[in-house]
A = this chain, B = another copy of it.
Amino acid sequence: MSRTATSSDVKAYSVTATGETPKRVTGEARGVRMVLDAPEASGGDDEGLLPVEAVLGALAGCLNSVGHHVATQRGLDVERIDATVEADLDVRRFRDGTDEERAGFRSVRATVTVETDASDEEVTAWLEDVRERNPVIDNLVAPTPVELAVEVKRD
């Protein structure tokens, strides 16, 4: 049976980002900061991950936090969760403005390494739950509308 969302169910997230160079951005949320940048070979100062790498890192972070949360709810003893996340991107749309390929990752592959005494069956059920309840995975696999607005500052 469905229940209407209450105010405590729906949380708002916000990041304010300052473009410091054409490659470097500092994002801030709740007074906490994240720096994104590009390698020197791509015109950056190598002071942070690339934005596309940050998406892969976010997925890994979400696998860790959802993984521990679900393990607790299932009564599984999970000591530690590491992850490797990989993806390929055809850069032609971004780089050249062609429309032959999508702009983003074609697919993403994540491998979770979990330290646990749980059985293989328990781990399989846990992983399925982790996948289904993972916000970052859901935002990748299912369409998420993005509204984009612009404000212009002139001297």
Q: Using an 8 Å CB-CB cutoff, how does the interface string of A25-69 with B read, 1 for contact, 0 for none? A: 101011011101111000000111111111111111111111111
Complex CA gap A106/B18 in Å reads 25
Complex CA gap A58/B15 in Å reads 10
Residue picked from A24, A46, A106, A145, most chain B C-beta under 10 Å = A145
Complex CA gap A112/B66 in Å reads 31
Decide if B147 touches A108 in the complex (CB within 8 Å): yes
Q: Which residues of the other chain, B, contact A82 by a CB distance below 8 angstroms?
A: 16-19
Chain A interface residue bracket vs B: 35 or more
Q: Which residues of the other chain, B, contact A131 by a CB distance below 8 angstroms?
A: 146, 148
Complex CA gap A102/B82 in Å reads 25
Known: A25-B60, A50-B61, A105-B139. 4 other contacts (CB 8 A): A10-B91, A14-B56, A15-B85, A33-B49
Instruction: Supply 10 A–B pairs (Cβ within 8 Å), ascending by A.
Output: A5-B101, A10-B89, A13-B86, A19-B81, A25-B57, A55-B58, A55-B139, A109-B147, A111-B149, A117-B155
